[in-house]
Structure 1
Amino acid sequence: MKVPEFIIASSRILTSATPAKQSGALVAMALLLASCSSTPPKSLVTPLPTVAKQPLAPKGEQNKEPVRGVWLATVSRLDWPPVSSVNVSSPALRISQQKKSLTDKLDNLKSLGINTVFFQVKPDGTALWQSKILPWSDMLTGTIGENPGYDPLAFMLDEAHKRGMKVHAWFNPYRVTVNTKPSTIAELNRTLSLSPASVYVLHRDWIRTAGDRLVLDPGIPEARDWITSIVAEVVAHYPVDGVQFDDYFYAETPGSALDDSMTFRKYGQGFSSKADWRRHNTQLLIEQVSRTVRQLKPGVEFGVSPAGVWRNLSFDPAGSDTRGAAAYDEAYADTRLWVKQGLLDYIAPQLYWPFSRKAARYDVLAKWWADVVKPNNTRLYIGIALYKVGEPSKNEPEWTTSGGVPELKKQLDMNESLPGISGTILFRENYLNQPQTQDAVRYLRSRWGH
């Protein structure tokens, strides 16, 4: 679909600045969508106050209590809402079931000693809050853009805060859909008459296919501004305790690579390689989101949960003694640099391996990350693999030994004793309810629970 002339004209506000000014004085944009029966929706670009040219000073240690967290995923309804709730005939019954499911989960998490929930509010190109930028998530009703009859983020915040628990809004920044099926495309096209409509119909020129999914091209400045505006909307209007990006930056597979050759030709001048340019794009997003969050609400934490390996020692003398997939080389995310520059309040690397996994030993990576954050005020929360507990594995048999409890204990012991580690996050909530993890859940309750 051709982009309306109004969008192009509005975008010139952003593109007329020099590259130096774009990277130094980035503006958080609020995207207001409007439509009526006779005209297609227009994408209005309205600047929020400009943010500081340099990253603001780190906020220092605010949270003395160690984080005992859990990720609660909504993409594909992995943890919530219940699949069964979407199929009920009565909207009132659906709302009741979804709310009860969430409060039951919070009660269980509270009993386990969990004090922070990382709640996925943007699983793709849709929202689990009342947004003027994104349509309502089909995870709630089965249909993109259908009002669920309540605000899940507001409800989660209210109920978690009542229980003394914190909530970080978890965003997948670039994902638009989890597949490229014709039925998915048709549903996106049907949002054209909605306000707000999907980014797929408003900004088709931003959309690429990668990893067999529809994604935004991270090399397009306006797309990064749009993502920043989404974060700004949540931070400005909801009492979230934090904001988190997951590890999906440049997310592609060998069989479904992201074709950004035209974008590179347009914006990649001055870079010796496409890889360096891609890392620069990811860096710009992190910089502008960091500055925007700190300007809007300095008390809100901004963090990233990247792949556990930054770079391997065989590629970089500053890397870890590992042989795992590296965020720097594969997701084009220089996560170590973000810590060194003070752009993050916390980093939560996903260390999803046991102590004995030679290619990526848990203790080797935990110590490496603790050394990275040592000179900075960035807090380190370690993501651990609850999803592997109790699952038979030829390469990692520890997860089934005594129900996985000894391995879990070793990891928690290290997290709670090694200086520099400020908490643990479990991936992910629904595995607390599975038969194979119950020995580990009982152990967690005895260790953390009230």
Structure 2
Amino acid sequence: MLASCSSKPPKSLVTPRPPVSIEPLPGKSALSKEPVRGVWLTTVSRLDWPPVSSVNVSSPALRISLQKKALTDKLDKLKTLGINTVFFQVKPDGTALWASKILPWSDMMTGKIGEDPGYDPLQFMLDEAHKRGMKVHAWFNPYRVSVNTKPSTVAELNKTLTLNPASVFVLHRDWIRTASDRFVLDPGIPEARDWITSIVAEVVAHYPVDGVQFDDYFYAESPGSSLNDNLTFQRYGKGFASKADWRRNNTQQLIEQVSRTIKQMKPDVEFGVSPAGVWRNASHDPAGSDTRGAAAYDESYADTRRWVQQGLLDYIAPQLYWPFSRQAARYDVLAHWWADVVKPTHTRLYIGIALYKVGEPSKNEPDWMINGGVPELKKQLDMNESVPQINGTILFRENYLNQPQTQQAVNYLRSRWGS
């Protein structure tokens, strides 16, 4: 750590962002008639792809062919299930799954940060999905730099100092904080937000993506590992009544500038966010939902409802990961609440549902076990198709389609959505 702090970091390779105008946003992209039937495909920790077994094989050629085959096999299966949109995690942390001039290559492909995987995973995904008539949204985790803070991770990140591009961890050590036992960027630093925007701009400029999505990790803290941004607040927080208001404004600014940047570059590329399912609970705010869950507004400092009202998003995909019977956060209560939020706007509503819970024993949510979870899944899909404001469903996450406990549900999806 000390060694990396004492030498002057090399100059950052941030591509300049297009100037952000304060003109109204250009018109939204043409509405797709077909409802979204989507799936999230995760690359962080190789949860869905690439296969862990592909990384340590003897030859790069074999690794590449295993990774490509694993992905095309997945896309073939998704196609038979009637999935038409893949939300592909291209930035799982401070690394990239595309040929970036800002971020080093992801170690998810090769086991080593910065090592060229020998092909461009994002381009390959786009080519193969588009060939099958499926859309691809590039999914970014905006602030995460690493999934842990182990000495071995620090050593790996420090080793990127000689690479071009190096990790933000060594280029901008002053932007890095610890939260939820991970290295993250401090969202209160304007240059860090500009840097994230430039990363999105790079992908939108160079790849034919159909959309861009941010997940729910804005301010990601845990009780034992909060983000220490006291000094940042002292520097930038003047004029705000509370640190919470200032934090929400930081998240707001990121969403505004990313939205404008995408629309100025390619108006037809959709921009969406997939936040925690609860905006605010009615106990805290009369405009909130009749729920008792962790709220994005209060815990991630993300005023997700406001972004919809201001027209900053083409779509919002709240994660409604509960069954109808979960009193603290009922699926139907939240689906109707979000439908009312989008009703007067042009923002489309896709609902994220909990494929990962299907077939799993749960004391609080036994419904996921009844008949392999099919009756609960059917109720949720029926609601999504009957409420006019709901324009689609996204399953979390791809690899659960391949697990033994979900097979009844997968067969049901195939019979309902498949061709």
Give the alignment's TM-score, normalised by structure 2: 0.98
Match of 1:400 in 2: 369
Q: Does the Cα contact within 8 Å between 1:3 and 1:204 map onto a contact in 2?
A: no
Match of 1:100 in 2: 69
For residue 330 of structure 2, the aligned residue among 361, 365, 368 is 361
Match of 2:99 in 1: 130
Match of 1:246 in 2: 215
Q: Does 1:203 align with 2:160?
A: no
Q: Does the Cα contact within 8 Å between 1:58 and 1:345 map onto a contact in 2?
A: no
Counterpart amino acid of 1:355?
F
Q: Does 1:281 align with 2:212?
A: no
Counterpart amino acid of 1:286?
I
Q: Does 1:317 align with 2:286?
A: yes
Match of 2:398 in 1: 429
Counterpart amino acid of 1:328?
Y
For residue 387 of structure 2, the aligned residue among 396, 401, 418 is 418
Q: Does 1:144 align with 2:104?
A: no
Secondary structure of 1:146's counterpart equals coil
Query: 1:101 and 1:48 mapped to 2: Cα distance?
Result: 35
Match of 1:186 in 2: 155
Match of 2:135 in 1: 166
Query: 1:129 and 1:135 mapped to 2: Cα distance?
Result: 9
Query: 2:365 and 2:297 mapped to 1: Cα distance?
Result: 25
Q: 1:351 to 1:160 in 2, by over 3 A?
A: same
Secondary structure of 1:50's counterpart equals coil
For residue 268 of structure 2, the aligned residue among 299, 306, 325 is 299
Query: 1:158 and 1:167 mapped to 2: Cα distance?
Result: 10
Residue 54 of structure 1: how far off its partner (Å): 3.5
Unaligned stretches of 5+ residues in structure 2 = none
Query: 1:372 and 1:127 mapped to 2: Cα distance?
Result: 34
Secondary structure of 1:155's counterpart equals helix
1:312-354, CA deviations, whole angstroms, 9 ceiling, x for partnerless residues?
0010010000000000000000000000000000000000000
Residue 52 of structure 1: how far off its partner (Å): 1.9
Q: Does 1:56 align with 2:29?
A: no
Match of 1:260 in 2: 229
Query: 2:248 and 2:374 mapped to 1: Cα distance?
Result: 39
Match of 2:181 in 1: 212
Secondary structure of 1:41's counterpart equals coil
Counterpart amino acid of 1:341?
Q
Counterpart amino acid of 1:373?
V
Percentage of pairs with the same residue: 84
Query: 2:395 and 2:302 mapped to 1: Cα distance?
Result: 22
1:362-404, CA deviations, whole angstroms, 9 ceiling, x for partnerless residues?
0000000000000000000000000000000111110000000
Counterpart amino acid of 1:136?
W
Match of 1:68 in 2: 37
Q: Does the Cα contact within 8 Å between 1:55 and 1:290 map onto a contact in 2?
A: no
Q: Does 1:341 align with 2:310?
A: yes
Q: Does the Cα contact within 8 Å between 1:41 and 1:193 map onto a contact in 2?
A: no
Residue 42 of structure 1: how far off its partner (Å): 1.9
Q: Does the Cα contact within 8 Å between 2:136 and 2:210 map onto a contact in 1?
A: yes
Match of 1:20 in 2: none
Query: 1:153 and 1:120 mapped to 2: Cα distance?
Result: 9
Q: Does the Cα contact within 8 Å between 2:86 and 2:135 map onto a contact in 1?
A: yes
Q: 1:148 to 1:339 in 2, by over 3 A?
A: same
1:25-48, CA deviations, whole angstroms, 9 ceiling, x for partnerless residues?
xxxxxxxxxxxxxxx632145534
Q: 1:135 to 1:108 in 2, by over 3 A?
A: same
Residue 53 of structure 1: how far off its partner (Å): 1.1
1:194-237, CA deviations, whole angstroms, 9 ceiling, x for partnerless residues?
00000000000000000000000000000000000000000000
* Structure with the higher strand share, 1 or 2: 1
Query: 1:251 and 1:55 mapped to 2: Cα distance?
Result: 31
Residue 60 of structure 1: how far off its partner (Å): 5.5
Deviates more, 1:394-403 or 1:60-69: 60-69
Counterpart amino acid of 2:135?
K
Query: 1:383 and 1:392 mapped to 2: Cα distance?
Result: 20
Query: 2:203 and 2:6 mapped to 1: Cα distance?
Result: 26
Q: Does the Cα contact within 8 Å between 1:130 and 1:136 map onto a contact in 2?
A: yes
Cα RMSD of the aligned pairs, angstroms, is 1.2
Aligned residues: 416
Match of 2:344 in 1: 375
1:234-290, CA deviations, whole angstroms, 9 ceiling, x for partnerless residues?
000000000000000000011000000000000000001000000000000000000
Counterpart amino acid of 2:152?
S
Counterpart amino acid of 2:323?
P
Q: Does 1:391 align with 2:360?
A: yes
Query: 1:54 and 1:266 mapped to 2: Cα distance?
Result: 29
Query: 1:412 and 1:87 mapped to 2: Cα distance?
Result: 40
Residue 302 of structure 1: how far off its partner (Å): 0.2
Query: 2:234 and 2:100 mapped to 1: Cα distance?
Result: 34
Counterpart amino acid of 2:66?
Q
Q: Does the Cα contact within 8 Å between 1:55 and 1:343 map onto a contact in 2?
A: no
Match of 1:328 in 2: 297
Counterpart amino acid of 2:351?
I
Residue 62 of structure 1: how far off its partner (Å): 1.9
1:397-449, CA deviations, whole angstroms, 9 ceiling, x for partnerless residues?
10000000000000000001101000000000000000000000000000000
Query: 1:60 and 1:186 mapped to 2: Cα distance?
Result: 44
Q: Does the Cα contact within 8 Å between 1:391 and 1:436 map onto a contact in 2?
A: yes
Q: Does the Cα contact within 8 Å between 1:58 and 1:377 map onto a contact in 2?
A: no
Q: Does 1:42 align with 2:11?
A: yes
Q: Does the Cα contact within 8 Å between 1:312 and 1:322 map onto a contact in 2?
A: yes
Q: Does 1:84 align with 2:34?
A: no
Q: Which aligned segments of 4 or more residues in structure 1 are displaced greater than 4 angstroms?
A: 1-5
Q: Does the Cα contact within 8 Å between 2:29 and 2:269 map onto a contact in 1?
A: no
Secondary structure of 2:93's counterpart equals coil
